[in-house]
Every structure is written in C-alpha cells, then in structure tokens.
Amino acid sequence: MTIDKYTEKNKGDFERVWVNWLTNSMGLQPQKKDIEEVQNPVLNYINSGGMVFYANNNGKCIGVVAIKKLNLTDYEFCKLVVDEKARGFGLGKRLVQKCIDFVKEENGKNLYLQSFHKLEIAVKMYKGMGFTDASAPEGMLVVKRTEIIMKREI
C-alpha cells in the first residue's frame, strides 16, 4: 500500500471515494461546493498551495485526503476518507500524518480540521495525534455539517 500525491490517474477517485462515504456511510448529501472541490482537486487545493493524497493498494484507491492552504501559516486537512473494507489498519492515521508532514515541509504553523460528533473513532484519533478544540482560523470556510473544529500546532 502506498500513499501518493495527486496524479491525473487518480483524479476521479477523489470524487468516487469521498461522495460514496458521505452518502452511504453518513447519510448526507454533498453540497455544491463539495462536488466542485472533489471534481477539480488541482484548481481547489493544489494551485493554492495545498495537496491531495491517495492511498493506493495494488493500483486501487482505498483512501483520500486533501490539504487546503488557508493563509500564510495555516492549513486545513479535509475530506479524509478510508474505504470501509480498508478501515482498522491505521490507514487514516497514516493519511493524517502525511498531511502533518506536508505542512512541516511547507513551513506551516498550524493544521486544522472540521468534523462532527458521529465520527467518534476519527475524533479520538485526532486527539491522540495532538489535535485540540479550536476556533476557525482566517480563511476557513466552515461547512454547514461541521460540529467540531480542531487544530494541531506544527
């Protein structure tokens, strides 16, 4: 299993994996902005100083995460999803660590995330990785479904 930066080969995987999770696992519908972001990762993340990472297993995408640059010092990781069949093996933690490493390489100071209470296992993992409750920083677009904002100093 590898965690790779965005390539055109994985472009459609971001939308497929993330929308499937949101609708089938969470029972929610994506907002228009969500669809625009997952269909155009270069425009919405990479061109502004962020990145999209894909977890690939034998050529199949089984996890995704995006990093958005919010301002000069702050980043947000978002749309973290691991395929249901691949959960329980630490892949989510590896994807978050890849985000932390990316922010360090970019000389960022803080990494933020948005989540909701239903994701108890994920929130527990975030706390275990040093994330704490926080207010939204400058540049963060807080989506309607957000219940928790967390931050980790880098």
DSSP letter at 98?
A: H
DSSP output for 48-79: GT-EEEEEEETTEEEEEEEEEE-SSSEEEEEE
Considering the chain, what percentage of its residues have pLDDT values greater than 90? 65
> Residues of the chain with pLDDT > 70: what percent?
100
Q: Residue 128: pLDDT above 80?
A: yes
Domain spans of the chain?
Answer: 2-110
Q: Stretch 111-120: mean pLDDT, rounded?
A: 91
Give CA separation, 6 vs 51, 111, 120, in Å.
Answer: 7, 20, 28
Whether 66 contacts 42, CB under 8 Å: no
Q: Which two tokens stand for residue 83?
A: 């395929």
pLDDT computed for residue 136 by the predictor? 95
Which CATH class, in words, describes the domain spanning 2-110? alpha beta
Q: What angle do CA 22, 51, 127 make, to 5 degrees?
A: 60
The lowest-confidence range among 4-13, 58-67, 124-133 is: 4-13
